[in-house]
Amino acid sequence: MIGSDGQESTFINSTSTCTMVRTYPFMTRNEIESRIADGQQIVIFNQHVLKVDAWLPYHPGGEKALLHMVGKDATDEIQALHSQAAQEQMMRYRIGKIHGLWTNFRPPIQGGSFRSSFDADNMDCEELDNQGVSASSTPNSRSPSPVFDVDYKGLRRRGDDKDYTTRPASISSQSSVEPDTTGMSYLDALTREQISLDIGKYPGVDLATQHEIAAKYKDLHQAIMDQGLYECSRTAYMFECCRYIGFFAAMLICLSYGQYVLGAVCLGLAWHQLVFLAHDAGHMGITHDYQIDTAIGIFVADFVGGLSLGWWKRNHNVHHIVTNAPEHDPDIEHMPLFAVTHRLLGSLRSTYYDRVMEYDAVAKFMLKIQAWTYYPLLALGRFNLYRLSWDYLIARRGPRRGPGAWHWYLEIVGQFVFWAWFGYGVMYKMLPDGRTRFMFVMVSHVTSSPLHVQIVLSHFSMSTSDLGPQESFAQRMLRTTMDVDCPPWLDFIHGGLQFQAIHHLFPRVPRHNLRKAQKLVMEFCRDVGIPYALYGFADGNRAVIGRLAEVSRQAAILAKCQQTVARNGGVFGHHG
């Protein structure tokens, strides 16, 4: 029997019930592409074709995280970021199945183009695979650009004769590219050089190689589950709760004795530690129940810290899917204050913020000195988080329907409670004058700022290249993220999140178990030939400062190119 939705249905009768078992038709690549061209949001998950249009306004992690998966096999991303219950919920949106391996399209939000229909028989399948599209999909209509396109035909998998668990001394190196008469050609040459370096270090992004990596990643994921690393440590959280309460009690005692600076330090330390708990809750890493963990996260982030968990989840989910992509990942989009890649010197358009990140006069000035302003500006980072949180809540950017809709109301209550206890109870009632209040705010907020250094440390100096839509989830996470080495007794300072590469591979694994997973991940990296980046805290910071200084140098060379073109009477065009 064919149902009203065009899907084949079969009825099984028994003496007491009538059960409908639905089967789903196999869909061709051409049909899937046509649907995407018509505006449907199609995602591949476990060999099933999902049409997620109806889920977009309900998705607790925001619609853009889903949009970056359109036209792609998102099985690894979905399984990494979602609970089993959420995965089962997604199966409600099935409309078909696929045969064999899926060759990813570039999602429309990332610039991919699609045709409603075309004759695949007239096109060379191997050529289309080299372009990063399927044999029944459209070739990209964009003009080739080194920012987005790679000649995959020439890529080869490296040999496995290196030790991929070594700790390199630095990441950034001085570019050997010389400027030519046009500034944008210089940036494109840098992009080609960066891609070439990544091609030499990582396995090829052909479909067969990446499918093999994805298959071994699934085995790794199974090993993680078999060892019980998804189980939360109650003992670890008991000690952490004692630490939180201790810091808050110390703050109150200090304030009662007039030790305002020391009290501010204690509050800053409490906020620093509590962020790790909110992070766990946001990833459902505590109870693995969406509603319970979200409520815990809102209590910690909004009620105690004055920051929006909803904003963080919307931002952070996109970061976990398109890590270190300059035009897509909000965690590295800090223009005009910082640029961690030369590509931001070309005024890229952010798909997250839906605006052009202008390389204007302010950016040109700030980027000259970014290696010097890096730590001072990060020290003030919490103030920017307030701004982003209020923007999210006032504009109601979160889901207005579905299981996450009520969280907005709880967050609003949380914001009022925070400013009641902190703004009125502490700042107004317990501090004597305006000067002391200003000092207390600054000291407490700066004390919590090492958190920002810890988080960006794992990404700012890593690859920002786009190796195309066929790159597997596991390789992309390991290519764009590094871990920070430290002795176990210092784990509480880093919150356990110094293992960012492992966390990106398995976001829902409780952070107390990330160190236990390290050996398994290192073995996986050796097996598939992907370098595992492990740095000491000092070396990692040197690498970040080196990257910032390198981009500043590239900006200076670009400025000279612009001056040369201007002197020669040429026109320096805008490049986006």
Q: Find all residues with CB under 8 Å of 480, minimum gap 6, and list them.
A: 323, 324, 459, 462, 463, 464, 504
Same-domain pairing of 428 and 293: yes
The residue out of 58, 89, 116 marking a domain boundary is 116
Same-domain pairing of 406 and 525: yes
Same-domain pairing of 245 and 362: yes
Residue 12, strand partner residues: 19
Same-domain pairing of 108 and 221: no
Residue 50's alpha-carbon distances to 6, 41, 79, 314, in angstroms, are 15, 8, 15, 21
Q: Hey, what are 556's tokens? A: 């200076």
Contact indicator for 349, 327 with CB cutoff of 8 Å: yes
**Residue that the structure tokens 């999140």 belong to:** 497
Instruction: Report the distance separating Cα 528 and Cα 110, nearest Å.
Output: 28
For residue 109, tell me if it sits in a domain. yes
DSSP letter, residue 27:
-
pLDDT in the model for residue 393: 96
Same-domain pairing of 333 and 217: yes
Same-domain pairing of 310 and 458: yes
Same-domain pairing of 109 and 217: no
pLDDT in the model for residue 131: 42
For residue 415, tell me if it sits in a domain. yes
- Assign 3-class secondary structure to 379-430: HCHHHHHHHHHHHHHHHCCCCCCCCCCCHHHHHHHHHHHHHHHHHHHHHHCC
Are β-strands 42-45 and 48-51 bridged in parallel, bridged antiparallel, or unpaired? antiparallel
**E runs forming strands in 33-145:** 42-45, 48-51, 94-97
Comparing CA positions, the residue from 12, 24, 518, 436 lying closest to residue 229 is 518
Q: Torsions phi, psi of 572, nearest 5? A: -95, 105
pTM (2 decimals)?
A: 0.85
Query: Could you report the average pLDDT of every consecutive run of 10 residues in the chain (576 residues)?
Result: 40 45 86 94 95 90 92 95 89 92 94 74 46 39 38 38 40 45 72 87 93 96 95 89 95 96 97 94 92 96 96 94 95 94 92 93 95 95 95 92 92 97 96 96 94 89 93 96 92 90 95 95 96 93 95 91 71 45
Give the CATH number of the domain where residue 93 resides.
3.10.120.10
Instruction: Report the distance separating Cα 330 and Cα 316, nearest Å.
Output: 8
For residue 220, tell me if it sits in a domain. yes
pLDDT in the model for residue 32: 94
**Residues written for the chain:** 576
The residue out of 116, 133, 159 marking a domain boundary is 116
For residue 529, tell me if it sits in a domain. yes
Q: Torsions phi, psi of 483, nearest 5? A: -100, 155
Same-domain pairing of 112 and 214: no
Same-domain pairing of 367 and 510: yes
Q: Torsions phi, psi of 11, nearest 5? A: -105, 135
Instruction: Report the distance separating Cα 359 and Cα 336, nearest Å.
Output: 7
Same-domain pairing of 367 and 512: yes
pLDDT in the model for residue 217: 97
pLDDT in the model for residue 183: 64
| Secondary structure of residue 97 in the 3-state scheme | strand
Report the domain count for the chain: 2
- Domain span including residue 110: 29-116
pLDDT in the model for residue 149: 41
For residue 182, tell me if it sits in a domain. no
Helices (H) and strands (E) in the chain, counts: 22, 9
- Give Cα 551 to chain centroid, integer Å: 22
Residue 513 burial class via C-beta count within 10 angstroms: exposed 0-12, middle 13-18, buried 19 and up: buried
Q: DSSP string covering 237-248, please? A: HHHHHHHHHHHH
**Residue that the structure tokens 């001072």 belong to:** 376
Contact indicator for 278, 312 with CB cutoff of 8 Å: yes
For residue 270, tell me if it sits in a domain. yes
Q: DSSP string covering 434-491, please? A: HHHHHHHHHHHHHHTTHHHHHHHHTTTTS------TTS-HHHHHHHH--EEE--GGGH
pLDDT in the model for residue 143: 37
Same-domain pairing of 101 and 211: no
For residue 499, tell me if it sits in a domain. yes
For residue 123, tell me if it sits in a domain. no
pLDDT in the model for residue 153: 39
Instruction: Report the distance separating Cα 317 and Cα 199, nearest Å.
Output: 27
Same-domain pairing of 326 and 226: yes
Comparing CA positions, the residue from 481, 475, 524 lying closest to residue 204 is 475
